[in-house]
């Protein structure tokens, strides 16, 4: 008799249902950085013993200031994919050590507020211009790999932390400068890659046990 059969013989069953959550790191960041605005809602549904369909929806408004650019990024995004739980729980536990994949899409705008340009007629060699140019209707597509830990705090209440490694597939760029920050993807590095983190609190709505 294997371990799963022993659990079944004792009447132990696991919950299958919809788990809904919110990224609690966003409010903390907004408290520290007053100009940031963002929210991310998460959901997953258990489709098999160790497999979960997963989705994230969000909105971000992020001011970005680089050496020669100052701009504001605003937009919404969604991610859809799956998680696989690689952790074998003891009886009565419902924790996860998982990895997963997502396809991500973002629709956003970039507002270019300031540009520092080289000015040979200026003693300091630079000049700040304020074009106030707004680029709307931009979008981006990407893939990301997730590694995470999900811990049951109380009955049906879970805390999750995860790290995401991202790679842009395609993007629309505004005229004159690159997308350095994309809602949902976040910071874009030179290799078109990115890294993200989240801390989520979620509640499981159980539909059935088996």
Average pLDDT over all residues of the chain: 85
Angle at 116 between CA 115 and CA 122, to 5 degrees: 140
Over residues 105-134, the pLDDT tens digits come to 999 999 988 877 666 565 555 555 567 788
Structure tokens at 86: 């690689």
pTM for this entry? 0.83
Does residue 169 contact residue 45 with C-beta atoms inside 8 Å? Answer: no
Over residues 12-28, the pLDDT tens digits come to 577 789 999 999 987 77
CA distance 29 to 131: 29
Give the phi and the psi of residue 83 in degrees, each rounded to 5: -125, 145
**For residue 177, how many other CB atoms are within 10 A of its CB?**
16
39 pLDDT band, cuts 50/70/90, is very high
pLDDT score of 208: 77
Does residue 100 contact residue 85 with C-beta atoms inside 8 Å? Answer: no
Q: Please spell the DSSP secondary structure of 22-85, one letter per residue.
A: EETHHHHHHHHSTT-EEEEEEEEEE-SSSEEEEEEEEEEEEEEE-SSEEEEEEEEEEEEEEEEE
Over residues 47-100, the pLDDT tens digits come to 998 999 999 999 999 888 877 788 899 999 999 999 999 998 777 678 899 999
Judged against a pLDDT cut of 80, whether residue 32 lies above it is answered with: no
pLDDT score of 61: 92
Over residues 159-188, mean pLDDT: 93
5 pLDDT band, cuts 50/70/90, is very low
137 pLDDT band, cuts 50/70/90, is very high
Judged against a pLDDT cut of 90, whether residue 29 lies above it is answered with: no
pLDDT score of 96: 93
CATH 2.40.160.20 fits 17-209, yes or no: yes
CA distance 71 to 113: 5
């Amino acid at each position: 008799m294997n371990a799963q059969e022993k659990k079944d013989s004792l009447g132990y069953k696991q919950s299958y249902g919809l788990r809904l959550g919110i990224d609690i790191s966003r409010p903390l960041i907004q408290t520290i950085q007053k100009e940031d605005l963002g929210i991310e809602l998460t959901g997953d549904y258990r489709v098999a013993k160790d497999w979960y369909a997963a989705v994230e929806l969000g909105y971000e408004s992020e001011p970005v200031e680089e050496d020669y650019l100052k701009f504001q990024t605003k937009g919404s995004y969604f991610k859809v994919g799956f998680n696989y739980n690689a952790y074998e729980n003891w009886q009565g536990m419902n924790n996860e050590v998982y990895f997963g994949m997502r396809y991500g899409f973002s629709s956003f705008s970039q507002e270019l507020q300031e540009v520092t340009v080289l000015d040979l007629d200026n003693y300091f060699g630079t000049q700040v211009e304020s074009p106030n140019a707004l680029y709307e209707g931009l979008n981006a597509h990407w893939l990301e790999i997730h590694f995470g830990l999900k811990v049951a705090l109380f009955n049906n209440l879970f805390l999750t932390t995860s790290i995401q490694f991202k790679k842009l597939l395609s993007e629309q760029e505004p005229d004159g400068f690159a997308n350095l920050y994309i809602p949902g993807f976040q910071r874009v590095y030179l290799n078109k890659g990115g890294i993200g983190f989240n801390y989520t609190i979620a509640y499981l709505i159980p539909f059935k046990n088996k």
